[in-house]
Structure 1
Amino acid sequence: MPKITFIDVAGASRDVDAPAGWTVMEAAVKNDIPGIEAECGGACACATCHVYVDDAWLDKVGQAEDMETDMLDFASDLRPSSRLSCQIKITSELDGLVVHTPERQG
Protein backbone atom coordinates (compact mmCIF):
# COMPACT_ATOMS: atom_id res chain seq x y z
CA MET A 1 0.00 0.00 0.00
CA PRO A 2 1.50 3.38 -0.97
CA LYS A 3 2.61 5.70 1.82
CA ILE A 4 1.87 9.43 1.66
CA THR A 5 3.61 11.94 3.93
CA PHE A 6 1.77 15.13 4.88
CA ILE A 7 3.86 17.96 6.35
CA ASP A 8 2.14 20.94 7.96
CA VAL A 9 3.41 24.54 8.12
CA ALA A 10 5.05 23.89 11.49
CA GLY A 11 7.03 21.01 9.97
CA ALA A 12 5.09 18.23 11.69
CA SER A 13 4.99 15.13 9.53
CA ARG A 14 2.29 12.44 9.35
CA ASP A 15 2.60 9.29 7.27
CA VAL A 16 -0.50 7.46 6.08
CA ASP A 17 -0.97 4.31 4.06
CA ALA A 18 -3.53 4.64 1.28
CA PRO A 19 -4.69 2.13 -1.30
CA ALA A 20 -3.98 2.72 -4.96
CA GLY A 21 -7.04 4.26 -6.57
CA TRP A 22 -7.77 6.69 -3.75
CA THR A 23 -6.90 10.34 -4.13
CA VAL A 24 -4.47 12.16 -1.86
CA MET A 25 -7.50 14.08 -0.53
CA GLU A 26 -9.30 10.85 0.40
CA ALA A 27 -6.19 9.66 2.23
CA ALA A 28 -6.03 12.97 4.11
CA VAL A 29 -9.72 13.05 5.07
CA LYS A 30 -9.90 9.40 6.10
CA ASN A 31 -6.81 9.86 8.28
CA ASP A 32 -7.86 13.20 9.85
CA ILE A 33 -4.95 15.17 8.39
CA PRO A 34 -5.17 18.75 9.70
CA GLY A 35 -5.35 21.45 7.05
CA ILE A 36 -7.30 19.49 4.41
CA GLU A 37 -10.91 20.64 4.56
CA ALA A 38 -12.17 19.14 1.28
CA GLU A 39 -15.49 20.97 1.44
CA CYS A 40 -16.70 19.72 -1.97
CA GLY A 41 -15.82 16.11 -1.23
CA GLY A 42 -13.42 15.75 -4.13
CA ALA A 43 -15.45 17.18 -6.99
CA CYS A 44 -12.81 19.77 -7.95
CA ALA A 45 -15.37 22.44 -7.09
CA CYS A 46 -13.48 24.27 -4.34
CA ALA A 47 -9.85 24.77 -3.37
CA THR A 48 -9.97 23.54 0.22
CA CYS A 49 -7.81 20.47 -0.40
CA HIS A 50 -4.90 22.54 -1.70
CA VAL A 51 -1.42 21.10 -1.12
CA TYR A 52 2.13 21.80 -2.24
CA VAL A 53 3.73 18.78 -3.88
CA ASP A 54 7.30 18.30 -2.70
CA ASP A 55 9.72 19.28 -5.49
CA ALA A 56 11.13 15.75 -5.70
CA TRP A 57 7.67 14.47 -6.69
CA LEU A 58 6.51 17.11 -9.17
CA ASP A 59 7.38 15.09 -12.29
CA LYS A 60 5.76 11.89 -11.00
CA VAL A 61 2.56 13.67 -9.95
CA GLY A 62 2.29 15.56 -13.22
CA GLN A 63 0.69 18.85 -14.14
CA ALA A 64 -2.75 20.09 -13.21
CA GLU A 65 -5.37 19.92 -15.95
CA ASP A 66 -7.41 22.98 -16.97
CA MET A 67 -10.33 22.48 -14.56
CA GLU A 68 -7.95 22.10 -11.62
CA THR A 69 -5.88 25.10 -12.71
CA ASP A 70 -9.04 27.22 -12.82
CA MET A 71 -10.03 26.09 -9.32
CA LEU A 72 -6.53 26.75 -7.96
CA ASP A 73 -7.17 30.46 -8.61
CA PHE A 74 -9.25 30.33 -5.40
CA ALA A 75 -6.41 28.88 -3.29
CA SER A 76 -4.41 31.00 -0.87
CA ASP A 77 -0.65 31.37 -1.36
CA LEU A 78 -0.52 29.70 -4.75
CA ARG A 79 2.90 28.30 -5.72
CA PRO A 80 4.31 26.46 -8.76
CA SER A 81 3.96 23.20 -6.80
CA SER A 82 0.30 23.84 -5.87
CA ARG A 83 -2.18 21.08 -6.61
CA LEU A 84 -5.63 20.09 -5.43
CA SER A 85 -5.19 16.84 -3.56
CA CYS A 86 -8.54 15.58 -4.90
CA GLN A 87 -6.98 15.50 -8.35
CA ILE A 88 -3.90 13.43 -7.44
CA LYS A 89 -4.75 9.75 -7.88
CA ILE A 90 -2.63 7.45 -5.75
CA THR A 91 -0.74 4.78 -7.65
CA SER A 92 2.08 2.44 -6.64
CA GLU A 93 4.47 4.88 -8.38
CA LEU A 94 3.52 7.51 -5.79
CA ASP A 95 4.62 5.38 -2.83
CA GLY A 96 6.54 7.82 -0.62
CA LEU A 97 4.85 10.94 -1.99
CA VAL A 98 5.41 14.03 0.16
CA VAL A 99 2.95 16.93 0.19
CA HIS A 100 2.87 20.04 2.34
CA THR A 101 -0.32 21.62 3.62
CA PRO A 102 -0.70 25.40 3.39
CA GLU A 103 -1.09 27.71 6.35
CA ARG A 104 -4.77 28.09 5.52
CA GLN A 105 -7.25 26.92 2.90
CA GLY A 106 -9.27 29.21 0.66
Structure 2
Amino acid sequence: MSDVKITIIDREGEAHVIDAPTDMNMNLMEVIRSYELASEGTIGICGGMAMCASCQCYMLNYQHMLPEMSYEEEDMLDQAFHVEDNSRLSCQIPITDELEGLEIRIAPTTE
Protein backbone atom coordinates (compact mmCIF):
# COMPACT_ATOMS: atom_id res chain seq x y z
CA MET A 1 0.00 0.00 0.00
CA SER A 2 1.28 3.44 -0.92
CA ASP A 3 0.11 6.67 0.73
CA VAL A 4 0.82 10.36 0.20
CA LYS A 5 0.62 13.03 2.89
CA ILE A 6 -1.86 15.82 2.10
CA THR A 7 -2.76 18.79 4.29
CA ILE A 8 -6.45 19.65 4.19
CA ILE A 9 -7.74 22.80 5.87
CA ASP A 10 -11.40 22.29 6.72
CA ARG A 11 -14.14 24.93 6.58
CA GLU A 12 -13.49 25.88 10.21
CA GLY A 13 -9.83 26.62 9.44
CA GLU A 14 -8.34 23.55 11.14
CA ALA A 15 -5.47 21.85 9.29
CA HIS A 16 -5.44 18.05 9.02
CA VAL A 17 -2.39 16.16 7.74
CA ILE A 18 -3.79 12.94 6.34
CA ASP A 19 -2.50 9.84 4.58
CA ALA A 20 -4.24 9.36 1.23
CA PRO A 21 -3.91 5.98 -0.51
CA THR A 22 -2.61 6.03 -4.08
CA ASP A 23 -3.56 2.42 -4.77
CA MET A 24 -7.34 2.60 -4.28
CA ASN A 25 -8.34 4.72 -7.33
CA MET A 26 -9.74 7.46 -5.09
CA ASN A 27 -10.05 11.16 -5.78
CA LEU A 28 -9.46 14.04 -3.38
CA MET A 29 -13.19 14.52 -2.69
CA GLU A 30 -13.54 10.88 -1.66
CA VAL A 31 -10.58 11.24 0.71
CA ILE A 32 -12.12 14.35 2.29
CA ARG A 33 -15.37 12.44 2.79
CA SER A 34 -13.66 9.34 4.17
CA TYR A 35 -11.86 11.43 6.79
CA GLU A 36 -15.14 13.30 7.52
CA LEU A 37 -13.49 16.70 7.03
CA ALA A 38 -16.72 18.31 5.78
CA SER A 39 -20.21 18.06 7.23
CA GLU A 40 -22.37 15.26 5.87
CA GLY A 41 -24.22 16.32 2.73
CA THR A 42 -22.04 19.39 2.06
CA ILE A 43 -19.41 17.88 -0.21
CA GLY A 44 -19.67 15.64 -3.25
CA ILE A 45 -23.41 16.10 -3.66
CA CYS A 46 -23.30 15.01 -7.33
CA GLY A 47 -21.21 11.95 -6.48
CA GLY A 48 -18.04 13.21 -8.10
CA MET A 49 -19.36 13.86 -11.62
CA ALA A 50 -18.27 17.56 -11.83
CA MET A 51 -21.95 18.54 -11.87
CA CYS A 52 -21.93 20.62 -8.69
CA ALA A 53 -19.27 22.67 -6.99
CA SER A 54 -19.81 21.36 -3.46
CA CYS A 55 -16.31 19.84 -3.44
CA GLN A 56 -14.53 23.02 -4.54
CA CYS A 57 -11.13 23.44 -2.91
CA TYR A 58 -8.35 25.98 -3.12
CA MET A 59 -4.99 24.54 -4.13
CA LEU A 60 -2.42 26.20 -1.88
CA ASN A 61 0.63 24.66 -3.59
CA TYR A 62 1.71 22.26 -6.35
CA GLN A 63 -0.79 23.52 -8.92
CA HIS A 64 1.62 22.48 -11.66
CA MET A 65 1.42 18.83 -10.54
CA LEU A 66 -2.35 18.58 -10.88
CA PRO A 67 -4.12 17.12 -13.89
CA GLU A 68 -5.27 19.64 -16.46
CA MET A 69 -8.76 21.03 -15.85
CA SER A 70 -11.43 19.46 -18.07
CA TYR A 71 -14.07 21.48 -19.90
CA GLU A 72 -16.74 20.14 -17.51
CA GLU A 73 -14.77 21.21 -14.43
CA GLU A 74 -14.03 24.64 -15.87
CA ASP A 75 -17.69 25.11 -16.82
CA MET A 76 -18.87 24.12 -13.34
CA LEU A 77 -16.42 26.52 -11.67
CA ASP A 78 -17.69 29.31 -13.95
CA GLN A 79 -21.09 28.87 -12.25
CA ALA A 80 -19.86 28.37 -8.68
CA PHE A 81 -19.66 30.72 -5.71
CA HIS A 82 -16.43 31.67 -3.89
CA VAL A 83 -14.24 30.82 -6.92
CA GLU A 84 -10.58 31.88 -6.76
CA ASP A 85 -7.75 31.58 -9.28
CA ASN A 86 -6.59 28.42 -7.48
CA SER A 87 -10.03 26.75 -7.31
CA ARG A 88 -10.44 23.14 -8.41
CA LEU A 89 -13.12 20.51 -7.95
CA SER A 90 -11.62 17.92 -5.63
CA CYS A 91 -13.61 15.15 -7.35
CA GLN A 92 -11.48 15.76 -10.45
CA ILE A 93 -8.12 15.28 -8.68
CA PRO A 94 -7.08 11.61 -8.54
CA ILE A 95 -4.84 10.60 -5.66
CA THR A 96 -1.40 9.92 -7.16
CA ASP A 97 2.19 9.95 -5.95
CA GLU A 98 2.56 13.46 -7.45
CA LEU A 99 0.24 14.86 -4.74
CA GLU A 100 2.76 14.21 -1.95
CA GLY A 101 2.83 17.37 0.19
CA LEU A 102 -0.24 18.96 -1.42
CA GLU A 103 -1.96 21.60 0.71
CA ILE A 104 -5.59 22.55 0.08
CA ARG A 105 -8.38 24.48 1.77
CA ILE A 106 -12.01 23.41 1.36
CA ALA A 107 -14.09 26.26 -0.07
CA PRO A 108 -17.02 27.59 1.96
CA THR A 109 -20.50 26.28 1.27
CA THR A 110 -22.93 28.39 -0.71
CA GLU A 111 -25.28 28.66 2.28
Residue from 92, 101, 104 that aligns with 1:87: 92
Name the counterpart of 1:103.
Answer: 108
For the pair shown, the structure with the greater C-alpha radius of gyration is 2
Q: Deviation string for 1:19-45 (max 9, x for gaps)?
A: 113110010011101265110111111
Residue 42 (structure 1) aligned with residue 48 (structure 2): yes
The residue type equivalent to 2:59 in the other structure is: V
Gaps of 5+ in 2: none
Of the three residues 74, 79, 87, the one matched with 2:79 is: 74
- 1:24 aligned partner, one-letter code: L
Which of 39, 52, 58 is 1:52 aligned to? 58
Counterpart of 1:13, as a letter, is A
Instruction: Check the 8 A contact 1:39/1:46 in 2, yes or no.
Output: yes
Give the alignment's TM-score, normalised by structure 2.
0.84
Which ranges of structure 1 fall in alignment gaps of 5 or more residues? none
What is the alpha-carbon distance in structure 1 between the residues aligned to residue 71 and residue 44 of structure 2? 19
SS in 1 for 2:7: strand
Give the letter for the 1:71 counterpart: M
| 1:96 CA displacement | 1.4
Separation in structure 1 between the aligned mates of residue 69 and residue 11 of structure 2, nearest angstrom: 23
Asked whether 1:26 is paired with 2:41, we answer: no
Scaled by the length of structure 1, the TM-score of the pair is 0.87
CA distance in structure 2 between the aligned counterparts of 1:61 and 1:8, rounded to whole angstroms: 20
Counterpart CA distance in 2 for 1:9 and 1:28 is 12
How many residue pairs end up in the alignment? 105
1:16 Cα shift? 1.6
Please, what is the CA RMSD of the aligned residues? 1.8
Cα separation, 2, equivalents of 1:97 and 1:105: 25
